[in-house]
Amino acid sequence: MPNRPLKLGTRRSPLAMAQAREARARLVAAQGLSESDIEIVAVTATGDRIQDRPLAEVGGKALWTKELDTWLLEGEIDFAVHSAKDVETIRPGDIAIAAVLPREDVRDVLLGAESIALLPAGARVGTSAPRRAAQLLHARPDCSVIPFRGNVATRLAKLAAGEADATFLAAAGLNRLGETGTGHPLPADEWLPAPGQGAIAIECRADDQDVQGLLADIDDLPSRAAVMAERALLAALGGNCHSAIAVLTTPDETGLHMHAALFSPDGSQRLDGDAHFAANDYDGPLKLAEELLSRAAPAIAEHFSGPQRNDT
């Protein structure tokens, strides 16, 4: 460890700060450090500044990571904390996901009704996530989708102001903010979560062996196996910011069971598939992606380009 505080980069939003504090607490406990040994450095990400348009229209997931990537590669910070679902599938070769913290609740929470079935007829539902929008419209084509961006407090305020009849939030985010009991959790095996949902990923420079060694002590191997399998599925599908994909990965007798669903953006078409494979066997997600794409109707297939890889 260097003779100075380690610098942990994070976005400035309340949830991101809570995740950074969790990462620091776990590292302090694992390494016998004090909080003063890890300085949290916050940045306002482009994704936090742009609130009036869906991310897919203005740059996608990179809007959550690009400032922290720059700081990391320039040595301004030693590592960075992210929501795993917000980290682009293909990352720079000189950045490594060094730890995945124990995964929180993967479920979505519905606010405004007790269940999807009990949404009022013609309900206006606020979301800017293609997965949530397509999954909603598949289950309830009578509903309409209202673009909804912002942090948890902003979206709750928009809902209270009547901008929509209902909206979704991630259970993990609510739990990390102490907002337990808010809304109605949706069964994950019926309403599938996003790839990486509920997990915190910590990145550092790929050539920084000292920091990688420190972070290895807080790397939760079961959570890493599931999250990296979901990222492998995404890479094999070649989705983009408009692609609607949902996936649930759970332990089973062979290692992992993955259930994935692809949707057309309007929800009219849904395609499901399953795979069983050993933890850290990325051929399993690849084969599932190939099988799904081989069966995909044009309305789904046009939003997936096939395998992607990092050439850097």
Which residues does the annotation mark as catalytic? 86
Residue 128: count of CB within 10 angstroms of its CB: 19
Tell me which amino acid residue 245 is.
Answer: I
Distances (CA, A) of 118 to 42, 130, 148, 157: 40, 21, 21, 22
Contact in structure between 24 and 40 (CB atoms under 8 Å) = yes
CA separation for the pair 145, 126 (Å, rounded): 6
**Are 61 and 86 a contacting pair, CB within 8 Å?**
yes
> In Å, what is the CA distance from 90 to each residue of 61, 93, 239, 274?
11, 9, 11, 23
Residue 19 near residue 200, CB atoms below 8 Å: yes
Contacts of 3 (CB under 8 A, 6+ apart): none
Q: Which residues of 196-215 are buried (b: 16+ CB within 10 A; e: fewer)?
A: bbbbbbbbbbeebeebbebb
Distance CA 245, CA 194 (A): 7
